[in-house]
Structures are given as structure tokens and as C-alpha cells.
Amino acid sequence: MFDCSINMNDCIFCDIVSGQAEATLVWQDDLVSAFMDIQPVNVGHIDIVPNVHASRLSDLPEDTGAHMFRIAQRIAHALRQSGIPCEGVNMFLADGKAAMQEIFHVHLHVFPRIPGDGFGLKFGEDYFAKPTRAELEEVGEKIRRAIGQGAEGDVVNRAP
């Protein structure tokens, strides 16, 4: 079991990682732990968390985030092999309250999907009004600058 270096008080995921709270683990290594979600979307719903407390994705070392996805990919494959009803797999990460994050320790949901299971995403009213290429370029440029790759950078810019 891991001793979180910054074990936040009242963080259920830190308590699970350290073994202080009950959980059904399916994977644990030096960087991440994966366990059964106690309120599953479908049977087989797994949550993957970094072993060290990070409230937001921006607090998480990139290598740990990459490893979370590596293990998520492995678990998605395992779900399909497990005999649990699983005709598809969704991964879901909520970063911030507006994105429906409820537990402020980064976690990646991985869960099986079966037709008619009732889970879904709801689009906003503006979804069907597609932006122009100029609008996409304007927003894309803001994001490229924020990443640190301006128009003169080595970003792959496929605009004609």
C-alpha cells in the first residue's frame, strides 16, 4: 500500500490508495491504483487514480497521466475479455466542477457499455450550428499559444 506524500484530509481516493478505506482493487503499481466504482454506470465500472493526491489534471505530472491511460487501455481490453457484458467501453475524466468532477482527486472512469444501458451524453442547443473554418482557426490559435506553440512554432498546421 502507498503512503500518499500529500494525503489530503477527507480524500476518499487517498484513503483507498493507502489502504485506509475499503475498496476492491483490480490494479496497483508505483504510480496508479484502479478499483471498482461503488456507484457503477454498468457492471465492471473501474476508476483509475494516481497514487499521489492531485486535485486537477494540471496538478498531475504528465508521465503519471500517461500511465493512467496506459492502464485504462489495459483495463478496457480486460473488460472485453472478462465475461462481463461489454460491447463497448467508455472512458470519462471530469476535470473541474463545471465538467462534473465531484471527487477532487484526479480519476479516470473506465466502464463497459451495452446497447440500451441508458447512459448518454446530452448536447447543448448550439451543438448543431457548426463553426466556420475561420472561427476554428481563431480558437485554435488561442490554444496553440497557450500550449506554447504559436503560428511560427513546429505545430502541425494543416490549414490550406
Nearest approach, Cβ of residue 17 and Zn ion (Å): 7
Q: Which residues neighbour 86 within 8 Å (Cβ) at sequence distance 6 or greater?
A: 44, 79, 80, 112, 113, 114
Site string for Zn ion, 34-63 (x = CB under 5 A): -------------------x----------
DSSP E strand stretches across the chain: 25-28, 32-36, 46-50, 88-92, 108-113
DSSP class of 125:
G
Give me the least distance between CB of 143 and Zn ion, in Å please: 29
**Which listed residue (44, 71, 105, 110) binds Zn ion by CB under 5 A?**
105
Q: How far apart are CA 9 and CA 15, in angstroms?
A: 9
Mark the segment that binds Zn ion (CB under 5 A) among 81-89, 100-108, 109-117, 150-158: 100-108
Q: Which is nearer to Zn ion, 21 or 143 (CB)?
A: 21
Report the amino acid identity of residue 114.
I
Between the CA atoms of 52, 4, 97 and 123, what dihedral angle is there, to the nearest 10 degrees?
40
Least distance between Zn ion and beta carbon 90 (Å)? 23
Q: Which stretch binds Zn ion (CB under 5 A): 7-15, 86-94, 137-145, 151-159?
A: 7-15
# chain residues binding Zn ion, by CB under 5 A: 6
CA atoms of 43 and 117, how far apart (whole Å) = 11
Bridge partners of residue 48, in order along the sequence: 34, 108
20 vs 73 by CB, closer to Zn ion: 20
Q: Which of residues 6 and 151 has its CB atom nearest to Zn ion in the complex?
A: 6
With H, G, I as helix, E, B as strand and everything else as coil, classify residue 16: helix
Establish if 107 lies at the interface with Zn ion (CB under 5 A): no
Shorter beta-carbon distance to Zn ion: residue 103 or 151: 103
Using CB under 5 A, list all residues that contact Zn ion.
8, 11, 13-14, 53, 105
